[in-house]
Chain A
C-alpha cells in the first residue's frame, strides 16, 4: 500500500475547504428564502423568536437571518383581499404578546375584529419582536413593505427602543439588504454593525455556519408549529421562557432618577436613534403611519413622583413622549400616547400585558387603526 503523507493530506483538505468557502461566498445563496413555511406548513402569524439551541443553551432569534424569519411569516404568502389594506404592526415584546396565548395577542385581537376601513377589509400583520429596538423595527419595515406594499404602519414604541444598546437586537443578514437599506436612508453609520454586515468573509460557509444551523432549526420549529398550533417552541420546553424576563409589579419604585446610567441632563444626547423615524418616513412614502407611546404600568406609591415604574424615571419617559409626538408631527404621522391608558390590573409585569390588557389595548387602538387604513390610498 502507498504510504500517505499526512501533511499533503492536510494541505489538500485545507485547499478544498477554502475552495468550498470561496464558492459559497461567491454564490451567496440566500437560504433564508427557502422555507417549508407557507408550503409544507402554514406561515406563522408572528415572526419566530426561536433561534439556535444546542447543549450549551438557547440562542434567541437574533442569530436568525432576517430573510428566514420573513419566509416563516404568513405575510410571505397571505393574499391581500382586493381592495384591502395590510396593517404592519411593529413593536417589542408587549406587542408580540409573549405573556399571553397566541389568540390573545394584540395582533390576533385586532385581526379577529375583522376591521373594515372605508369598505376595505383590514388584515393585521404582527411583525413585532421581543426586545425594543427602533433600528431593528426599521429593517423589519423595509422587508415588510417589499412584501406588502399596500400597507399602513402602526408602530408601538417605548424609550428603551432608542437606546444605543438596542442595536444588539438586530438580525443577521448576509444578503446585504439590511446594510443597503441603512445606507439608502442615511443611516450608514449603523451599516458597520456586525449583524448587518455582509462582507465577502461574512458570506463564506464558515462564517455562515451558525446561521445555517439556525435556519435548519427554524424549519424544524415549523413542524412543531404545524403539529401543535403553538408558535413558541421555547415555551413548551422551558429552555428559554420569555417570562423569565419579567419585571415584577411594584407600586413603590426605588426613587432614583437614573435610567441605564443616564441622568436628566443626558436626555438631548439620547436622541440619535430618533433619526430612524425620519428615515422610516422616507421609506414609507405616502403610506399612513401612526406612532404609539405604548402603555406602561404607572406606579402610585412612594417613589412614583420620580419614576413611573422601576423601568423608567419620569423624565426619560416624558422626554420620549414629547420627542415622539414632535417627530410624528414633523413627518405628518399620527401619534397616540397610551402611557397610562390601561389599569394596573391589565399588567403581568411593569412592561407586559395580560389577556385583558391586550384586549383593552386592541379596543383602544381599533378606531385609530380603521381611521389610518381609511386614509390609505390604494396604489396597486
Chain B
C-alpha cells in the first residue's frame, strides 16, 4: 500500500466507524473496492481486473459452501450479493470513465462482466440450495483453495501461467525486476493478498467441517475475508472473533481515537521512514558480493532483520489502527519479537496469527495423531517431526522454493534443539542461576543468541538459493 492509499483508507475507516446504520454493508463495499484499488499493476493488464474479481468470487463461493442453511437465506444475503456485484461492475465501468489516476482504464467490456456475474450468481444460488453439509464439497473446496495457493507460490508455474495468459492476450508478460524496494522478489502472477485470503478461507472451511464455525451471513463472511485493513498483510483474525465485533463494534471512547490514530502514525513511521531507509543497506543477494569484510556483512544483515520487522509490523500497526477506528480490534501480530530470550518465545511473538493458524491446523493435529498412533513413537521424534514440519510449511507459505524450505528447516531444527535443551536443563540448573543478576545476564545472552540465530536465518529467507545463503553465512564467520 502506498502512503496516499493508506491515508484515503484511514479516512474512510474513520467515517465507517461513525456509521450507525448500514455499517456492515459499507465496510464490505469499501473492502471490495480496496481489493481492486490495491491490486498491483501487471501485464496482461486485464488481470488487474480479473484477479480482484476472482478474489470476490472465491470468497462468495466458499461462503456458499460453508454457510449453514439458516445463514444462507435470500432475504439476509441479497444486499451483500448486490454490493459485491455492484463493486465489480463499478470497477469495470472505468473502461468508460477512464479515471486512470484511480483505477485501471483498460477493463473488460461490460457485457462480458455482466454475463460472468450472472453465471456466477446462478452457481452460488445452486450451491446455496443444498440441504445437508457435504464432506466431499468441503474437501473439494479445501483442495481448490490450496491448489491456487500452490500454483501462485511456485515461481516457475506462476511465471509460465502468466506468460501463457500474456501470449493469449498478445502482450508481453510483466517481468518484475528484483530491486531493493521489494522484500521478496515478485515472480509470475501477482494475486494480491491471496496468501492471507487462502488461510482465512481454509480456517472457515475446516472450522465449518468440524462444526466450530458459527453461521455467518454473506456480508459478515466476505467482510471477514477481505477486510481492507488486513487484506494485504494480515493479521489473520479468527472469523468468530472478528464477526462478534463486526456485529457489535467496540465503542470509540476516551483515548481510543488517539490510540487508533497514533497506531496508524507509528506504523507509517516504521514502514515509510525507518524500514524504507534501512532498505538501502539491507543485505541481499545483489548487495552481498560488493561488501568487504564480515563486520559490514553483519551490519547489513541486522539492517535486513530490522527492515523486515519494521516493514511488516508497520503495516500491522496501520491495519490495527484502521480496524480500531471501525470498532474492530484486530489481533496483534508482533510483540517485540527481537527481545525474546529464546526461539520458542520468538515464534510466539513474530507473525503471531500465522503461527497460531499453523499451530491450530497442523502442529496440534499432527502431535495428537502421532501420540495416539498405535505404534509407539518417542516423544522427542514427535516434537522433531511436528516442529520441523510446521516450520517448513510456514517457510513454503512464503513461496515454494528451496530457500524458504531451508529457512523453515533452520527454525524447525532450532525450535527442536531449544525444546530438548529446555527438557534437559529443567532439573539440572541450580537455583542460584534463577535469581537476580545471573538470571538477567542469562536472559540478555538468550536475547542476543536468539536474535542472531533469527538474523542469520533471514539469509535463507531472502536469498534465492540455500547455497548462496550458506556461502554468505560462511563469510559472516570469516570462513569464505
> A residues 1-31 with Cβ under 8 Å of B?
1-4, 6, 9, 13
Residue among B256, B258, B280, B293 having the largest count of chain A Cβ atoms under 10 Å: B280
**Contact, CB under 8 Å: A1 / B286:** no
Bound Cα distance from A228 to B292, whole angstroms: 6
**Contact, CB under 8 Å: B258 / A9:** yes
Q: Is A53 located at the chain interface by the 8 A CB criterion?
A: yes
Q: Which of chain B's residues have a CB closer than 8 A to the CB of A224? A: 280-281, 287, 290
Q: Is A100 located at the chain interface by the 8 A CB criterion?
A: no
Identify which of B74-82, B176-184, B329-337 touches chain A: B176-184
**Contact, CB under 8 Å: B281 / A220:** yes
Identify which of A157-165, A236-244, A260-268, A333-341 touches chain B: A236-244
**Contact, CB under 8 Å: B257 / A6:** yes
**Contact, CB under 8 Å: A4 / B286:** no
**Contact, CB under 8 Å: B253 / A3:** yes
**Contact, CB under 8 Å: B253 / A2:** yes
Contact residue among B2, B256, B258, B278 (Cβ-Cβ distance under 8 Å from A55): B2
Q: Mark B16-35, 1 if CB is under 8 A from A, else 0.
A: 00100000000000000000
State how many residues of chain B have any CB contact under 8 Å with chain A: 30
**How many pairs of A and B residues are in contact by the CB < 8 Å rule?**
77
Q: Mark B271-304, 1 if CB is under 8 A from A, else 0.
A: 0010011101100001100111100100110000
Given contacts A227-B296, A228-B290, A228-B292, contact A233 B255 (CB under 8 A): no
Q: Which residue of B lies closest to A50 (CB)?
A: B280
Given contacts A1-B253, A6-B257, A55-B2, contact A236 B287 (CB under 8 A): yes
Contact residue among A13, A55, A228 (Cβ-Cβ distance under 8 Å from B291): A228
Bound Cα distance from A229 to B291, whole angstroms: 8
Q: Is A217 located at the chain interface by the 8 A CB criterion?
A: yes
Q: Mark B307-324, 1 if CB is under 8 A from A, else 0.
A: 000000000000000000
Q: Is B170 located at the chain interface by the 8 A CB criterion?
A: no
Q: Which residue of A lies closest to B325 (CB)?
A: A6
> B residues 398-451 with Cβ under 8 Å of A?
none
Main secondary structure of the interface of A (DSSP, over half): helix
Q: Which of chain B's residues have a CB closer than 8 A to the CB of A221? A: 280
Q: Which residue of B lies closest to A6 (CB)?
A: B257
**Contact, CB under 8 Å: A2 / B254:** yes
Q: Is A77 located at the chain interface by the 8 A CB criterion?
A: no
Q: Which of chain A's residues have a CB closer than 8 A to the CB of B64? A: none
Q: Which of chain A's residues have a CB closer than 8 A to the CB of B2? A: 55-56
Q: Which residue of B lies closest to A223 (CB)?
A: B281
Q: Is A54 located at the chain interface by the 8 A CB criterion?
A: yes
Q: Which residue of B lies closest to A219 (CB)?
A: B277
Q: Is B386 located at the chain interface by the 8 A CB criterion?
A: no
Q: Which residue of A lies closest to B300 (CB)?
A: A227
Given contacts A55-B2, A216-B277, contact A4 B292 (CB under 8 A): no
Q: Is B14 located at the chain interface by the 8 A CB criterion?
A: yes
Q: Which of chain A's residues have a CB closer than 8 A to the CB of B293? A: 227
Bound Cα distance from A224 to B291, whole angstroms: 8
Contact residue among B18, B258, B277, B280 (Cβ-Cβ distance under 8 Å from A233): B280
Q: Which of chain B's residues have a CB closer than 8 A to the CB of A56? A: 2
Q: Which residue of A lies closest to B2 (CB)?
A: A55
B68 → chain A closest CB, angstroms: 38
Given contacts A224-B281, A233-B280, contact A55 B254 (CB under 8 A): no
Bound Cα distance from A3 to B253, whole angstroms: 5
Q: Which of chain B's residues have a CB closer than 8 A to the CB of A4? A: 252-258
Bound Cα distance from A233 to B281, whole angstroms: 10
Q: Is A230 located at the chain interface by the 8 A CB criterion?
A: yes
**Contact, CB under 8 Å: A55 / B181:** yes
A1 → chain B closest CB, angstroms: 4
Bound Cα distance from A213 to B276, whole angstroms: 9
Bound Cα distance from A220 to B275, whole angstroms: 12
**Contact, CB under 8 Å: A220 / B292:** no
A43 → chain B closest CB, angstroms: 18
Q: Is A249 located at the chain interface by the 8 A CB criterion?
A: no
Q: Is A226 located at the chain interface by the 8 A CB criterion?
A: yes
Q: Which of chain A's residues have a CB closer than 8 A to the CB of B273? A: 213, 216
B301 → chain A closest CB, angstroms: 12
**Contact, CB under 8 Å: B290 / A230:** yes
Contact residue among A3, A6, A227, A238 (Cβ-Cβ distance under 8 Å from B292): A227
Q: Could you list some 22 contacts between A and B, CB below 8 A?
A: A2-B253, A2-B254, A6-B14, A53-B180, A54-B276, A55-B2, A55-B181, A216-B273, A220-B278, A224-B280, A227-B292, A227-B293, A227-B296, A227-B299, A228-B292, A229-B292, A230-B290, A233-B280, A236-B287, A237-B180, A238-B286, A239-B181
- Knowing that A216-B273, A224-B287 touch, tell me 11 more A-B residue pairs with CB under 8 angstroms: A2-B253, A4-B257, A6-B14, A55-B2, A55-B181, A56-B2, A213-B277, A220-B278, A224-B290, A227-B281, A239-B179
Which 5 pairs of residues, A with B, have the shortest CB-CB distance? Answer: A227-B296, A1-B254, A220-B280, A228-B290, A1-B253
